[in-house]
Structure 1
Amino acid sequence: MTVYAIIGGTGLTQLEGLTIRQSLSVETPYGAPSADVQIGDYAGREVLFLARHGHPHRLPPHQVNYRANLWALKQAGAQAVLAVNAVGGIHAAMGTGHFCVPHQLIDYTSGRQHTYFADDLEAVTHIDFSYPYTESLRQQLIAALAAEGCGYSSHGVYACTQGPRLETVAEIARLERDGCDIVGMTGMPEAALARELELDYACLALVVNPAAGKSTAVITMAEIEQALHDGMGKVKSTLARVLMAG
């Protein structure tokens, strides 16, 4: 039976309903992960949970130790990772409260520790990253969203920007020209690191605001927090369906 790990992003620093049996403080060759790995029961299944930004939410996207996080989950026994991400909507279909299960991504970040294959190598290693998300895991998320009756898109291109600031109108226009549908700050290098560790990986993205220039209103944290509050119940029920089916 597959051992699932959930990485919670903004708005999901703890998984309500998770009966915690153990909290692991995992030491890694890459430093400390964002938080302890929680092991417990959720939706009738054993699951691992890690808060990407720490608990409480304290780590900005560019300072998350992605290498330590994925390594810690692998060491704790994870085989598949369900990553929850809050994103901005670029494509017209990606309105606030909409879900997207992206099939592709473009990395616009810089300066992040993005690979395990960096030091003291016996040989250069290249991973195939043509399709960054595990298709079978994507399909599980899509089926769960459909069963929940959520508004969702089964495909999308995730643009990962550096943060922590939000993007300019011109930057979003560029991302749109590049073919991006949603924009976030934490999708990379997380997805690539999972691939390097041979972990199945898929993203459940919740749109929490229109991207810059996609609305006449000013983007506010209050708006984003409200969207997170409204959407987290559906996030949790969707994850529960995946776990029960898997």
Structure 2
Amino acid sequence: MAAEWHEDAVQVGIIGGSGLYDLEALTDVREVRVTTPYGDPSDALVVGSLGGIRVAFLPRHGRRHQIVPTNVPARANIYALKSLGVRQLISVSAVGSLREDFRPGDLVTPDQIVDRTRNRNGTTFFDENLVVHVPFGEPFCGRLRELLGSAARHATDTAVHAAGTYCCMEGPQFSTRAESELYRSWGLDIIGMTAVPEAKLAREAELCYAGLALVTDYDCWRADSEDVSASAVTEVMRRNSAAAKASMATLLASLDPEPKCGCQDALATSVITPLDAVSETTRDRNRLLVGRYFAAQEPKPAA
């Protein structure tokens, strides 16, 4: 990893989705280019200060929206943020609604995910002679999710839904009507294309991770609404980006930069492979993520 930045560590990361490509409220801004063992992130990271906290902002699809959901370099994105010191991560994304009461323009802080992706590469950091099974029953950090929802309610006059199950589809095409009705019959609430593998990798990186989902449409299940289109999504996201940015600013103004949370120790009981069975190459690639657990297994020097 190489970074062109040597000041105080970043504490919070924000990944922006469709329609959110920058964060104008940041001060003392500079671009940081990071290379990782998993390739390059989606774009340069924009590092600055907001609410007294050092923040790194990364546009998920690139600042010109050139990366389709399937090809988002999620491992590089999460690794790059972790390498700068990020411990808490907010994901902003556009979603369709599978419920009548989750209206376009509303915000959702989802609490669950159903993975319907098929072609995602890099869904784990640990895929070569190192086996790690992280707990994922609660895919979003409950502590950070509640703080984010509260901040959104205080910062905007938009309806904010405190929970919801996010159906992550492959894309880039939108759903068929039959698929949309199937997901509704399962009791799913919103549908998008980017929470997986992002949430899984954030857990493996021991980051507190929460999502702010901006409802842009009713997918294609609602008979009296037009089917979702890219232009409609972009327009609603453009209008709602102000609500997302206000929510971020309010959250950061009161956020503890040193979280005390179980997410920060997610690997404590998850690393299965003993150190002496892990190759040096794998150790080096994953030292940022599991170095402290490797160190605990290192033989103690003789007295």
TM-score (norm 1): 0.95
Query: 1:138 is matched with which residue?
Result: 145
The answer on 1:223 being equivalent to 2:232 is yes
Q: Which has the higher contact order (CA 8 A, sep 6+)?
A: 1
Q: CA-to-partner distance for each residue in 1:138-169, whole Å, 9 max, x for gaps?
A: 01111112212320110100000000110111
Query: 1:127 is matched with which residue?
Result: 134
The answer on 1:77 being equivalent to 2:85 is yes
Query: Using the alignment, how far apart are the partners of 1:134 and 1:233 within structure 2?
Result: 24
Counterpart of 1:244 in structure 2: which amino acid? Answer: A
CA contact (8 A) 1:70 1:194 kept: yes
1:237 corresponds, among 226, 246, 271, to 246
Query: 1:56 is matched with which residue?
Result: 64
Query: Using the alignment, how far apart are the partners of 1:198 and 1:227 within structure 2?
Result: 33
The answer on 1:94 being equivalent to 2:119 is no
Query: 1:24 is matched with which residue?
Result: 32
Counterpart of 2:159 in structure 1: which amino acid? Answer: G
2:123 corresponds, among 114, 126, 130, to 114
Q: CA-to-partner distance for each residue in 1:73-99, whole Å, 9 max, x for gaps?
A: 000110000000100000111110011
Where do 4+ consecutive residues of structure 1 move more than 3 Å?
A: none
Counterpart of 1:61 in structure 2: which amino acid? Answer: P
CA contact (8 A) 1:2 1:80 kept: no
Query: Using the alignment, how far apart are the partners of 1:167 and 1:229 within structure 2?
Result: 22
The answer on 1:3 being equivalent to 2:11 is yes
Q: Offset at 1:171?
A: 0.7
Counterpart of 1:174 in structure 2: which amino acid? Answer: L
Counterpart of 1:76 in structure 2: which amino acid? Answer: L
Query: Using the alignment, how far apart are the partners of 1:93 and 1:2 within structure 2?
Result: 37
Q: Offset at 1:20?
A: 4.8
Task: Give the gaps of 5 or more residues in structure 1.
Answer: none
2:164 corresponds, among 156, 161, 165, to 156
Task: Give the gaps of 5 or more residues in structure 2.
Answer: 1-8, 256-303
The verdict on how the C-alpha distance between 1:19 and 1:86 changes in structure 2, with shifts beyond 3 A counting, is same
Q: Offset at 1:2?
A: 8.5
Larger Rg, first or second structure (1 or 2): 2
TM-score (norm 2): 0.78
> What secondary structure does 1:105 align onto?
strand
Counterpart of 2:123 in structure 1: which amino acid? Answer: H
> What secondary structure does 1:46 align onto?
strand
CA contact (8 A) 1:20 1:38 kept: no
How many residues are aligned here?
Answer: 244
Which one has the bigger helix percentage?
Answer: 2
1:214 corresponds, among 218, 222, 238, to 222
CA contact (8 A) 2:15 2:57 kept: yes
Query: Using the alignment, how far apart are the partners of 2:243 and 2:164 within structure 1?
Result: 19
